[in-house]
Amino acid sequence: MSGIFKFTKYILLFISVIQLTRFSPEYLEPTLLYEYFIFIGLIILLGVLDDFFKLNKRTNILLRIAIILCSLALLITSVSFQSTSSVIFSIVMFIAFSFSIFLEIKQKED
């Protein structure tokens, strides 16, 4: 039964990405949408690698740094397009992944 729940989150993420591609309001810039795709893709890659493979600490940290850089690019683009909700989302994701890297490095030192 636990195997079903392991794959359910990936099925739900796949459905969410499909729904995001169909969701294209007039006020959402295509550049912002593509950056969201890259951001979600990196998070899915981190989740798949973490669940199915034994990740090296260095690889885990490098993937999180790539996600942080993507969130910074999303923040800059959101500010330039004056999208308030995307700015808030980018800041929250930047803080969350930065804190997760801090905890990963701190755990590595111990």
100/51 Cα distance (integer angstroms) = 17
Q: Is the pLDDT of residue 7 over 80?
A: no
- Comparing 8-17, 18-27, 31-40, 79-88, the range with the smallest average pLDDT is 18-27
Q: Is the pLDDT of residue 1 over 60?
A: no
| pLDDT, tens digit (0-9, with 9 covering 90-100), for 26-85 | 666 777 777 877 887 788 787 778 777 877 888 888 888 888 888 888 888 888 888 787
Q: What are phi and psi of 53, to 5 degrees?
A: -130, 155
Enumerate the H helices of 1-110 as residue ranges.
2-22, 30-52, 57-81, 84-109
92/98 Cα distance (integer angstroms) = 10
Looking at residue 27, what is its pLDDT?
A: 61
